[in-house]
Structure 1
Amino acid sequence: MLADFALVRTTDVVLDPDELEPRDSDFAEPDDAGLLDAVDVWCEDVLDRLPDTPVPPVATEIVAVRDLDLVDDDCWPQALALLSRPPLRDALIQPVRILLPDGTHEVVRPYTAWWLRGHPVLDGRRPAGLRAAGGDPLLRGLYDEADATGFDDEQVLRALGVRTSVAALLDEPGGAAELLDRLADPEREVSGAQLHALYGFLADLDPERVTLPDELRAVVDGEVVVVDAADAVVVDSPDLLPFTAGTPLLPVPPSRAAGLAELFQVRRLSESVTGEVDSEGVEHDVPESVRVLLGPSTPASYVEHEELVVDGTELDWRRTRDGVLHASTLEGVAAGLAWAAGQWPRRFEVAALIEDPSRTEELARDRWFD
């Protein structure tokens, strides 16, 4: 049977590992931080994460669960259930506030969470770096799964280091580096759609928070592989995809392409291909029904080519840097207009409208349900 845990609660603790020893006392005092198992190692870990100071920083308050090292391996499910409930829960999820000598503050992981992360307390494994079964599917394949049945408290799971979502992972110190390390592990399976979404999250990060990786996961000729980061190119122009044979591509939502390129300090596809039109064409006005569908950003005209040749290669469409749309097929016109208008998902609807203008009213009615 599992006994209840005891809390250590103390204030103004000087973070000096050599001083965090149990007091010489006949009984366990409730404010004796030295009673915590491996508290000196926790202290060293905290100091490693803080700037060097001439005198030790001070933890304004430590609330921690003691005697974690005495729990029998078979009792951890019950133990975690106890730790997940008040009054022990705060010791697990509330960060510790550290006062630095210059008067500023930092917050660090609490002792209880630190201890639990490093021991096989969840499903017989260390929880840090596991993925909760049934958690964010974007992390599938990147993390081994753990059975967290009965733990629906995301704060507790996060405190244990269990990965519940991409957003939560990237919100944690070192989370981006951890994700990139796993993406660079060729033994871990990642789909193209998964990679596209993950790079969308990463593109929103401040580059100052992310160390440039040596390797990245990319798509090369349809296969998801690990490549040298310097060789990768962010995909930002669908019309230039025919020029990408053998090129490691980083897929990302278009609105985040520039951010991802800046984050990884790599080129964008539009910067890597000249994309000059070599053939001649005839200018046509864009049908009014298409302009209504795609909105005010729709080009007023496009240039139709019998054969569209760009940098010596035949393409369906190309939008040049001056904003002119060139196309040689109906599908190319539709794709180019949708791309130019920022309505890429509408390209098939545009094609249907150009092919059969009599469907204008029908397609307009269908858009009621968008």
Structure 2
Amino acid sequence: MGVVELRLKPVVKVFRRECHRVLESERTTIHGANSMLMVFQISVAEVCKKERGDFSVALSDVLVAWKCLLLDKLHLSHDGSPISENYDLIRKEYDSFLKRTNTVDLIDVYNMYKQLRRNEDPEDPLTAMQLFEFLHGCTDVFEETDVIPPCPATPSNRAHHSSSQVYRVVRRVFSSYLGLLVNTKNDLALAHTLNAPSRSLGHKAFTNLKHAACNSSTSLFLAATSFVRAIQLGGKGYAPPQSDPLRKHMKGLIQFVHFTDQLEEILGESPDSSAAGCKIVSSIRATLLKGLSNVDPVYAAAEATVKELKERICQIHITQKELAFGTGISPARPKAYAINHATAYGGRESVKLLMALLDEEALVPPCRNKAELLTEDQAILNGTEGVCLLSLYK
């Protein structure tokens, strides 16, 4: 772990410990550097659509606006840096995305630190400039990213993607499934998992789901689960009409909701949080690798991810038990601040463990190759069915 990540750890730890003082839900999740940039790219494209009618944006424009956002949110001088066109609208769109998905970014966590810290906490773990350099990519702490020529991604040439690229996509899928269990309002997590593995829920299904969520003023996950519940339990009088666009994607949506139901059952029914976490990770592995051979790059990446996540789950579990034992009192807060308040139900201790794991994932250094990050697509997982995140939201 690099110097900046080590200095960010106490900042995130204080946020998680004290966030009930400033947030409506303790299940608020943190976007790390890479997911911050993904959300921002979507926000820029949304503004372009509203202003010019075209949901698309050049990478260079995203990166110029990205630097503006980092400097602005960290209250740093722009020092002659160009101000992106429509920056205020982009910032508003970005903030709106975070709010409606019950998420914050690393800068939000950093900005809240002084308000939330106690006397025994470090006064200034890192400076605003250090965080800017970390997020903008000015530090030397990066994962290695192979430079590869562009090629169409199909099941037969998937190996042409660099191993780090495949690993990053697979790890993101695991983290996104865990993120949905903690925070079902996290639309970005749903976007990464809806068609992973392939459920024939591509661009058209995602668009129809977005419209359904917008019409009912709810999250993408709740729109999907509400539709499936109505189909399965509603009866003739309450089932969605045959004209409902989601009926075209009924099989895939049922598969997705059924799988997330299975994960939630594990979360709520396993008394041991470490066992629950490991079982959830194993379940994600099983569904992701179904039908793949052990020579597939995705298989190797999933195996490595499962091994690492299980090790961290066990370590976090031990740490949390030691902290609870050391104080001699239960770590549970008063009922008013219960971890399940205003969110989906689940095993309290298991949720706390997953949140700690996801907080660690948020500290992963940004991908050095921004173009690769923002054009990675689910073709790595699903062959020609896959589309990149920006195309999915288009």
TM-score bucket of the superposed structures, by smaller chain: under 0.3
Query: TM-score normalized by structure 1?
Result: 0.22
The TM-score normalised by the length of structure 2 is 0.21
Question: Relative contact order, CA 8 A, sep 6+: which one is greater?
Answer: 2
Which structure features the higher share of strand residues? 1
